[in-house]
Amino acid sequence: MRLTLIATLVLAFAPFAGHAQTAYRTPPPELKAIADAPRAPELSLSPGRDLLALIAQPGLPGIDVVAQEELKLGGTRIHPKSFSSSQFVFGDDLRLLEIASGRELRIDGLPSPLSIASSAWSPDQRYLAFNQVEPAKGVNALWLVDVGQRKARRLTTRGLNTVTDRGYQWMPDSRGLLVSLQPTDGGALPSSDGVPAGPNIQQAAGGGQVRSLRTFQDLLGSPLDARRFEHLVRNQPALVGVDGRVTTLGAADTYTRFSVSPDGRMLLSERITTPYSYLVPYRMFPRVIEVRDLRGQLVHTVATLPAVEGLPTGNDAVAEGVRSVSWRNDAPAALVWAEAADGGDPARAAEVRDIVYMQAAPFNAEPQVLARLGSRYRGIQWGRGDVAILNEFWWRDRHQKQWLIQPDNPQAAARLLHEGSSQDRYNDPGMPVMVPDANGNAVLLTSSDGGSIYRIGAGASEEGDRPFLDRQSLASLDTTRLFHSAAPVYEMPVALLDADGARILTMRESPKSPPNVHLRATAGDGKLTALTRFPHPTPQLADVQKEQIRYKRADGVDLTGTLYLPPGHDPRRDGPLPLLMWAYPREFRSADDASQVTGSPYRFNAISHWGPLAYLATGWAVLDNPTMPIIGEGDAEPNDTYVKQLAAGAQAAVDEVVRRGVADRHRIAVGGHSYGAFMTANLLAHTDLFRAGIARSGAYNRTLTPFGFQAEERNFWQAADTYSAMSPFNHAEKIKAPILLIHGEQDNNSGTFPVQSERMYAAVAGLGGTVRLVMLPNESHGYRARESIYHMLAETHDWLQQHVQPRQGAASAAE
């Protein structure tokens, strides 16, 4: 009987018993060249707005780098040797660029090999600090560039702790930095002999209150985890002068962040306390928020907060008590924070949802009420005593407001600057322009007469995105357009070089020209000067054809997509091509907002290994980012008709590319990453539009994310039918087209556990479907190693060729 049972099990699993580890593969040369294409440097504008720091970005790291020791604790990933957050790509060159002359300046004395994790200008621009991190060697060092002398030197011999933040920030006087050092009394990382001391236990007290808790990854799982986490997070605050002198501030502790008051006399600190939670990341652990002086002595306790192990249902839910504590940037030492007036519960009726408070040092007076809001506080852009912009937002209906307030006179009536849907891109007024003040704090840029502010926006329109720069009067609130990008280029303002916007920096690009920094005059002849000349990273595909296409869903919703064809292909002459459609659904509360045109036909054709465009090099047509809106107006929930709307969007896209003659119905594949992978599996289960699918790092069974996912607010028990209908795992028997599942074995994204792909594979295989599962070792939600990217490209190429591309000499299927 026992032998019979075993034999039955073997036979049952025989069709999909091909589990094996194989060597990494290399894709065809044309795809490999795209993975190895050079990357443009990262740019950082100096406080004086006359220099740019250019930090070169290297190619993909090897699997030996990505496979370095990495601990997953408290919802984060840590390189234990270097006491740094997990990172695998570092800047490998640093140079300066004079904006006035366009001259590049080299720097002497840089470490070799250079490995920059982050950088920061001093407020007076005399120095540029950077963090040199080499995880394998245990290096986490603070370096300083003397800008005038163009020389670099290491500032301290003690290593930084950058597990929870950058680990350093400039003091307002530019004479030193506040740093988080690795403590000298920490000892060795706690270890285990492998023998458990007892079971790991969790218990809930009950009480009947429903609390939503998202599915987090990398949580603490044992007392040993907790000890290791504490060992790695614990840091010693200190002041380090530009001369290298170190002054410690109090004792080492589990600090997770510091910020210096604008006057440089006080420190706002946050430290986590026990008991640590096994249910949530460290950002939701119990914590104490305090103000300390420059000796590290306690001045004022702002709040002592419990762990946040769940919230009321809804994406507008927040924790009770103090939150979003920060310094007011334009005052010497004043704290600002928000507190929920509705208990943090969006289901509770309330005219006032949040109250914003302000309290100045020495913190012995009662806090002032800065604002009472009908929705949730979303931060303040500070300017001066009579000018600041306060933001509020209600996620449920996507409604946002911007208010002009007078922080020195809280009793003065606020003036409404903007109100509308956050999804209404056509009427977005743009983001206020911020600049560093003399202390290095970001404040609103005001015109030389003090009467105006500036805004930079994407400029969404029926013509596509056309970025703009506006000046807005603080008296009338009227706007004057100073710059507007125009065809046939895409030009985004990135910085104003003077208070009146006469000279600006822009990033200018076109379909065949990569983004480069330009100096533009906004008045007169509009003189334009190129400051950088980054080359085309994939010149072999410079002549790719791109068109922004527009079409309608059956219910009248306008849709947009970007259609790409290989260089030289003429559909009338050459006929249709196999086509890969790559998308990511998004939820909307308005059909009008969902119908707005997205993207621009004039942006650079950036061919990356990550998205679908790489396959243009192998002769495929690509429909990239066709809009797949899931709409719920009024009281209707978008996801209650998710499958119907998704299928309708896909049908419209397929009909359009077939109508244009660039594809035939029988040679179209669909793919996506994360929520796009979820979409892919659903489209294969509920339509017969596609010959094959590519699903990377997705979630397929929504009962494994029972307290919400993506934009879904309701929990499984409130919307069980919706969760079931949306889960392609529940409909795996309908997936007849071949599906390739790719997933990182160490996925850290909420909800997309690797088991999601493993169980989806088992379901499709067990039900007789054609499916392949590729699990990438040491990879997270986004794949990082060169070997992993090569393998992903090779697998995808082969899957598309095998299941969509007809055999050589075979006729195309008729429509």
Number of Cβ atoms within 10 Å of the Cβ of 205: 5
In sequence order, what DSSP letters do the residues of 459-511 get, joined into one string? ---TT----EEEEEETTT--EEEEEE--TT-EEEEEEESSTT-SEEEEEEEET
3-class DSSP assignment, residue 765: helix
Bridge partners of 95, per DSSP, are 54
Tell whether omega for the bond before 27 is within 30 degrees of 0, i.e. cis: no
Q: Which tokens go with 732?
A: 């795996």
Q: What is the rounded distance in angstroms from the CA atom of residue 74 to the CA atom of residue 85? A: 12
CB-based contact 46:53 (threshold 8 Å)? yes
Catalytic residue, chosen from 46, 180, 447, 674, is 674
What are the DSSP calls for 523-553, one per residue? STT--EEE---PPPS-GGGTT-EEEEEEEE-
| Residues ≥6 apart with Cβ < 8 Å to 413 | none
Q: Do 459 and 399 contact (CB within 8 A), yes or no? A: no
C-alpha separations of 214 from 191, 225, 286, 723 in Å: 30, 21, 18, 15
CA distance 37 to 538: 6
CA distance 680 to 728: 9
Q: Count of CB atoms within 10 A of residue 199's CB?
A: 6
Q: Give the alpha-carbon dihedral of 764, 768, 772, 776, to 10 degrees.
A: 40
Does residue 19 have an active-site annotation? no
Using alpha carbons only, how large is the chain's radius of gyration in Å? 28
Nearest one of 32, 30, 1, 22 to 790, comparing CA atoms: 32
Q: Is 673 a catalytic residue?
A: no
* Active-site pick, 115, 345, 747, 803: 747
Q: How many CB atoms lie within 10 A of CB 512?
A: 14
Pull the structure tokens for residue 222. 């044992």
Task: Give the residue among 146, 100, 98 at the shortest CA–CA distance from 122.
Answer: 146
236: tokens are 């010693």
d(CA 390, CA 328): 12
DSSP code, position 810: P
Alpha-carbon 699 to chain mean position: 19
Q: Single out the catalytic residue among 263, 781, 798, 812.
A: 781
Residue 205 tokens, joined: 């007290």
CB 580 within 8 A of CB 672: no
Side chain identity at residue 181, one-letter code:
L
Maximum CA extent, the chain:
92
User: Catalytic residue at 747?
Assistant: yes
Active site residues: 674, 747, 781
